[in-house]
Amino acid sequence: MENFDLHDYLKARKAMIDQALEHVLPLPEGPSDKVVEAMRYSLAAGGKRVRPILLMAACEAVGGSTSSVMPAACALECVHTYSLIHDDLPAMDNDDLRRGKPTCHKVFGEAVAILAGDGLLTFAFELLAHPDMKNALDPSTLLDVVYVFADAAGINGMVGGQTADIIFEGKTTDAQTLSFIHSKKTGALIRASVEMGAMLGNGRQEQVKNLKKYGTALGLAFQVVDDILDVVGDEQKIGKPVGSDEKNQKATYPALFGLEQARKKAVQLKDEALAALADFGPEAEPLRAIAAYVVERDR
């Protein structure tokens, strides 16, 4: 792992995942073709594929093989994409553009966009529980993975965080509520990506626990940096308008503590993430590099 080049690594992994995602859904046909078209549209609309990459990297960090975990990696991207489709709806953030392209409801209409989100969320569980998965992975572990996944995506995780984000929009928010929103809205699924990878790679209990710690710190760091970029970022680079949090009176770290404190917090979280990897060898190098990248990125 000397001369490890994160840029090349991320590029190669993203290409692998993009290709897998292209083939994961059936082709649109029959009377319900529109919903599959919409799901494919949003799934193909790009993104860094952070969650699938983390799942694969965590699997390798415990010595597991990534050959059989691609459907699980795709499941994470399906759930992430569904959350973006529903977040963009007029009743939620009402966004017309996502990564520079028209949002799902702009292209397919609101009804089909709601159903495309529902379809992607449901499809994620189809992928994880597909009979083929049992050929390579232990059914009991797979069932635990389904649970971790659902828990992180649902009311204890993403759905809970998104609800709080909407309820507290425009209201005064304290540090505790902000931490609730951040750790759940984005943090839970990122943490679950790492945890699921460690479980699917048959990591020992102690390893899974440490990687869960890593994922928790990383997930929070990711969101803090997102907030910072919304203030100081380059619109061209991040692919969406900056200043939207302030406009929508969203609770953010920079808004509550100022930019300097937010930056300190991000570095502190990176250090926490790295500390959780102390017992791992060079096979965790990608995870270490990702932690540094997440905090230093400008997009």
Contacting residues toward its own copies, per CB under 8 A: 26, 30-32, 34-36, 39, 82, 86, 89, 91-92, 109-112, 114-115, 117-119, 121-123, 125-126, 128-131, 133-134, 139-140, 142-144, 146-147, 149-151, 153-155, 159-164, 166-168, 177, 180-181, 184
**Residue 58 CB, nearest approach to its own copies (Å):** 20
Q: If you search the block for the tokens 């991207």, which residue do you land on?
A: 77
- Which helix (H) or strand (E) element contains residue 220? helix 205-232
Cβ atoms of residues 195 and 204 within 8 Å? no
Question: Least CB distance from residue 214 to its own copies, whole Å?
Answer: 23
Looking up tokens 């572990």, which residue turns up?
141
Burial of 167: CB neighbours in 10 Å, binned 0-12, 13-18, 19+: exposed
Q: Which residue has the tokens 């100022």?
A: 258
How far is C-alpha 18 from the chain's CA centre? Answer: 15
In angstroms, the CA 112 to CA 260 distance is 43
Run of H or E residues at 20? helix 6-24
Q: Residue 125 or residue 293: which is nearer to its own copies going by CB?
A: 125
Write down the least CB distance from residue 74 to its own copies, Å.
14
Nearer to its own copies, 38 or 211 (CB): 38
Q: What is the DSSP string of 134-146?
A: HHHS-HHHHHHHH
Report the nearest approach of its own copies to the CB of residue 128 (Å).
Answer: 8
Contact assessment for residue 152 and residue 189, using Cβ atoms and an 8 Å cutoff: yes
CA of residue 46 relative to chain centroid, distance: 13
Least distance in angstroms from the C-beta of 243 to its own copies? 22
> Smallest gap, in angstroms, from Cβ of residue 227 to its own copies?
17
The answer to whether 294 and 221 are in contact (CB under 8 A) is yes
Nearer of residues 29 and 260 to its own copies, judged by Cβ: 29
- Among residues 36 and 57, whose Cβ is nearest to its own copies? 36
Q: How far apart are CA 140 and CA 125, in angstroms?
A: 15
Q: Which is nearer to its own copies, 104 or 289 (CB)?
A: 104
Q: Are 9 and 289 in contact (CB under 8 A)?
A: yes
Closer by beta carbon to its own copies, 148 or else 276: 148
> Which of 124/294 has CB closer to its own copies?
124
